[in-house]
């Protein structure tokens, strides 16, 4: 086995995977908390918008199927 070549391939694979960036990210609790908060806010907004759109489509379909008017 060529240990030197294997070591170089391992180092290259680790650099491509971003392990170093992940380790730096996890070492900063403030950055981790901020990122978690921001991602939670955007997930909540996405869920709310998606639910609103799907609810509106469902009401439109129900209104057309049963001849009801939900705008009153």
Q: Which domain holds residue 50?
A: 3-66
Q: Is there a domain that residue 36 lies in?
A: yes
Q: Is there a domain that residue 18 lies in?
A: yes
Q: Is there a domain that residue 71 lies in?
A: no
pLDDT tens digits, the chain, 72 residues: what are they?
788 888 989 888 888 887 777 777 778 888 888 989 999 999 999 999 999 999 999 989 988 898 887 776
Verdict on whether the full-model pTM lies above 0.85: no
Q: Is there a domain that residue 72 lies in?
A: no
Angle at which helices 19-26 and 3-17 cross, to 10°: 50
Q: How many domains does one find in the chain? A: 1
Q: How far apart are CA 12 and CA 53, in angstroms?
A: 45
């Amino acid at each position: 086995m060529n240990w030197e070549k294997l070591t170089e391939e391992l180092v290259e694979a680790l650099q491509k995977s971003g392990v170093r960036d992940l380790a730096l990210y996890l070492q900063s609790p403030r950055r981790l908390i901020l990122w978690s908060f921001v991602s939670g806010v955007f997930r909540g907004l996405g869920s709310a918008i998606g639910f609103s759109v799907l609810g509106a489509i469902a009401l439109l379909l129900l209104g057309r199927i049963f001849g009801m008017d939900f705008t009153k």
